[in-house]
Structure 1
Amino acid sequence: MTTTERVALAQRLGEAELALQGAMRGLDGSPDARTRLADARTEYLAAEREALVALGAQPGPDAIELLASSQATA
């Protein structure tokens, strides 16, 4: 991975985190606010997954999702 790719990835993740924080601050219970939060969360998770794949840490999120789903059914 080149430095340019790393910078772009870090920038995407940072922007997604700022959007998520902004959506959380603006959460007032309205449908629009909940939609903004869901969209921001989706973008953040996509950026995070891309970063983890680029860093070679892909099994981590899959293991966490598996653990979370097994706890939800218990």
Structure 2
Amino acid sequence: MISRLPLDQQLDSLHAVLSRNDVLMEVLARTATLGLPGWYVAAGCLFQTVWNVVTERPPTRGIKDYDVIYFD
């Protein structure tokens, strides 16, 4: 069970799962070049990616948008 692993191993597992979503990886790469202050990607696409992988569906299934939030 992942939740019982040390935090660094939990983060590695999360990274491995999220990396399976090619669209998410592209959003992160492009957003990183924009120079936005304090930006992050909202949780919906992250949660859905994890859920899809856990339930053996394509990682991008059911994700209609990827919300980037920043504070200026």
The TM-score range, normalised by the shorter chain, is: 0.3 to 0.5
Structure with the largest fraction of strand: 2
Structure with the largest fraction of helix: 1
Normalising by structure 1, we get a TM-score of 0.33
